[in-house]
């Protein structure tokens, strides 16, 4: 994969913004899929790197910090899934690596050194000397806390949604559309098999809606932090 093409020529601002917006949308979906067990921690990591590169090309000074925040959130999510036996120990070690690498990227950016790009994003040109540009100022504690709160809310929301899907905990109400979809899929028979089918289908439907709502809420929350 090549994430550094834009470094070789002038950036088209419209295309760069389109790429960033698309990468953010995919990342949000992959994060939800990872919580649901249909994507891996590495999928989240790769798409977070793509968002990082796209935001660098747009000149956003918070790109490294945002990537670090996402990797911290991913690490927390992986540890939670591992505690429930839902992911292998390998992913726990991978998540720890992603956090350490993101910290190095952030540290380099704050101190004005050449940013570390990660194993899938090698630099296309030699870095400029430190004197070529002023150091990137460290983010304020208030903004950092805002982003951390957004990620924490997203993880709590996503974990709750996934618990519904897995049957851990009780649903706090019924979604009429989900109930109807479950009855259409499983029928309205009174047998235990049909009842179990409806319960599972209803949970899956509500979990999917809640996951989508979590991603939308985080997007709005992050927009307020900027």
pTM of the model: 0.49
pLDDT of residue 100: 93
pLDDT at 136 over 60: no
Give 154-205 pLDDT, tens digit per residue.
777 777 766 666 666 566 556 777 777 777 878 877 777 877 787 777 777 7
Q: Give the start-to-end residue ranges of the domains of the chain.
A: 1-139, 141-226
Residues in contact with 151: Cβ distance below 8 Å, sequence separation at least 6, in sequence order: 69, 70, 72, 73, 218
């Amino acid at each position: 994969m090549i994430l550094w093409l834009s470094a070789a020529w002038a950036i088209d601002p419209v295309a760069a913004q389109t790429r960033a917006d698309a990468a953010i949308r995919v990342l949000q979906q992959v994060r939800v899929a990872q919580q649901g067990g249909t994507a891996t921690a590495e999928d989240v990591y790769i798409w977070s790197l793509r968002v990082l590169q796209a935001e660098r090309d747009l000149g956003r000074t918070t790109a490294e910090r945002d990537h670090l925040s996402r990797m911290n959130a991913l690490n927390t999510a992986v540890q939670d899934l591992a505690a429930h036996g839902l992911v292998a120990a390998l992913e726990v070690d991978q998540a720890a690596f992603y956090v350490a690498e993101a910290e190095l990227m952030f540290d380099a950016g704050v101190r004005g050194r050449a940013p570390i790009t990660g194993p899938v994003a090698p630099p296309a040109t030699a870095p400029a000397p430190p004197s070529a540009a002023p150091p990137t100022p460290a983010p304020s504690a208030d903004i950092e806390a805002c982003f951390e709160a957004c990620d924490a809310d997203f993880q709590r929301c996503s974990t709750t949604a996934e618990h519904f899907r897995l049957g851990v905990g009780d649903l706090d109400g019924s979604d009429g559309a989900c109930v109807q979809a479950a009855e259409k899929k499983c029928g309205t028979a009174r047998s235990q098999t049909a009842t179990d089918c409806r319960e599972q289908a209803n949970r899956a439907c509500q979990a999917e809606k809640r996951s989508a709502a979590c991603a939308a809420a985080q997007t709005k929350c992050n927009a307020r932090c900027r």
